[in-house]
Amino acid sequence: MNLAERLAAAQGQTVPPASAVSSAPAAPAAVPRPRPAAPAPAAPTDALARLKDRVGKALFERMGGRMNDPSLSEGQLRTIVLGELDEVVEEENVPLSTEERQRLTAELADDVLGYGPLQRLLDDPAVSEIMVNGPESIYVERNGKLERTATRFTSEEHLRRVIDRIVSRVGRRIDESSPLVDARLADGSRVNAIIPPLAFSGSTLTIRKFWKDPFTVDDLISFGTLSPEMAELLHACVDARLNVIVSGGTGTGKTTLLNVLSSFIPEGERIVTIEDAVELQLQQEHVVRLESRPPNIEGKGAITIRDLVRNSLRMRPDRIVVGECRGGESLDMLQAMNTGHDGSLSTVHANSPRDAIARLETLVLMAGMDLPLRAIREQIASAVDVVVQLTRLRDGTRRVTHVTEVQGMEGETVTLQDAFLFDYSAGVDAHGKFLGKPVPTGVRPRFTEKFDDLGIKLSPRVFGAVQPVGARSW
C-alpha cells in the first residue's frame, strides 16, 4: 500500500486498486481514439505535501510565541520544535515509512528552524545568489548565469514567515510601516527583503551568499579575475598606502575584491571597517567592525555610514575601509584621505573609471555642502590614487578590466591614465567564454615613484615584455 492509499484509508476513503484500472477493456484497435496523457506518478509526493501543510500549520499553532522567544537558544528551540513535531505527526495517525517520516521532519524543521525551501539552495555551494520574486518564482545565480528553480513556497504567508525569521535574528523588523529591510543571515550572507504593498507580485527576497572561506588573491588569479602582474601591482599599492576605489556594477564582485585588497594590509595596523551590513572578512588581528543602524519604529535612532565615518576619525585608525560609498559620507571619506588617513579603501557603483569619478562628484554633492564643482574635483584628484574597475562579462565571468591612476587636474578635468586594460582581441572560445586577459598598457604610473621611495620592489614583468594595448589618457 503506497502513501496515497494509506492516507485515504486513514481518512475513511477508498482508492481503486491498480489492477482495476489495468483490467478495463481497451478501445477497439480498428477505431483508435486519442486518450489523455497519463498523470505523472506524483501521488505520494502530493500526499506528503498535503500532510506537511497540515502538520506545519498545527506545529506553528502549538509553538505560538515560543518561536520568537529571545530567551531560547537555537539548540533549545530545536529540541522543543522536534518534540512538538513528533507529537503532531503522531496525532495525524497516518502510517509513514521511515524514509517518509525523516523527509517530513527535515522539511518541517527547515521551515521552522531554517529558511524553508531556500535551505537547500543556501546549502548548495554552486549557488552564489538567490532571488525570490513571490512565493512561486525563485531564481538563482550559478556560475554567473541566472536560472529559474523548481523550488516554491506553499503560500505568501509561508514566505513571510521565513522573511520574519531572517530579520528578527538581527534585531530588524519588516511590516507595513517598514516594508523593506536590509539584514544578514547567521553566516553573514547579505539579505534584502521588500513586502507588499511595495512589492506588487508578492514578498521579494534577495540573498547574496557569504562564503565561509573568503577568496584569496590566488583564487581570483585562478578565476581569471586578476592577472599575476595586476595582483602584484595592487599589493604594492596597498603596501604604499595609496587610496584605492573599487568600481563596478551590481554583482561584479566589488566586495570580494575589496576583501582581497584588505588582506594586503600589513599586520600591526589598526583597521576600521564601516558597512551597512557586515560582509568583509578581514584576517588581521586588529580590526574594528562598525555597522550602520536603521531608524526604529518611531523613525529615530538611525546611525548612518556618514556618522560612522566621522566617528572613525576619532578612533585612531591606520586604515579606514568603507564597504560602499553611496551618499554624503563620500565627502567625509575624501577629507579623511586628504588629512593623513592614507591607505583607505572603498567601493562605488560605476561602469568605468571615468564614471567612478563622476559618481564620486555626485555623492559629494549629496552631503548638502554648497561646494563648487572644481573644489570637489580637486578633493577627488588629491585623495584618490587608483581606481580598479570590475566588469561582469556576458559569459558570466567577473574580470578586472581597468587599473587606472588618478593623476591630478588639467583645467577643470580630473586626468586619468590606465595602467592595465582588459584585452578583448582574443575573442571567445566555442563555449562563449572570453579568451582575453588584463594586460599592461605600457605606461608606468607616476605613483610607482612612491614605491621607490618606500623601497617597494616590483618585478620587471609587471610593466614590461608585453605589447601595449589601448592606452588612454583623459
Task: Choose among 14, 94, 109, 110: nearest CA to 47.
Answer: 94
Give the model's pLDDT for residue 65.
Answer: 63
State the pLDDT at residue 3: 46
Say how far apart CA 403 and CA 395 lie, in whole Å.
21
What secondary structure does DSSP assign to 387-452, as a single string?
Answer: EEEEEE-TTS-EEEEEEEEEEEEETTEEEEEEEEEE--TT-B-TTS-B---EEE-SPPPTTHHHHH
Measure the CA–CA gap between 438 and 254, rounded to whole angstroms: 17
pLDDT in tens, 70-85: 666 667 777 777 777 7
pLDDT of amino acid 391 = 93
Q: Where are the domains of the chain?
A: 47-113, 114-212, 217-463
Q: What is the domain class of 114-212 according to CATH? A: alpha beta
Taking 50 as the pLDDT cut, the residues of the chain under it are 2-4, 6-11, 14-44, 465-474
pTM for the model stands at 0.74
Q: Does domain 217-463 have CATH number 2.130.10.10?
A: no
444: which 3 cell numbers?
608606468
Rounded Cα distance between 361 and 406, Å, is 14
Which pLDDT does position 71 carry in this prediction?
A: 67
- Helix (H) / strand (E) containing 148: strand 145-148
pLDDT for the residue 383: 94
What is residue 65's DSSP assignment?
G
Per-residue CA distances from 417 to 237, 241, 385, 396 (Å): 15, 19, 11, 27
pLDDT of residue 362: 93
The pLDDT, as a whole number, for residue 31 is 42
**Residue with grid cell 580598479, as numbered in its chain:** 388
What SS3 class is residue 194? strand
User: Residue written as cell 587610496?
Assistant: 243
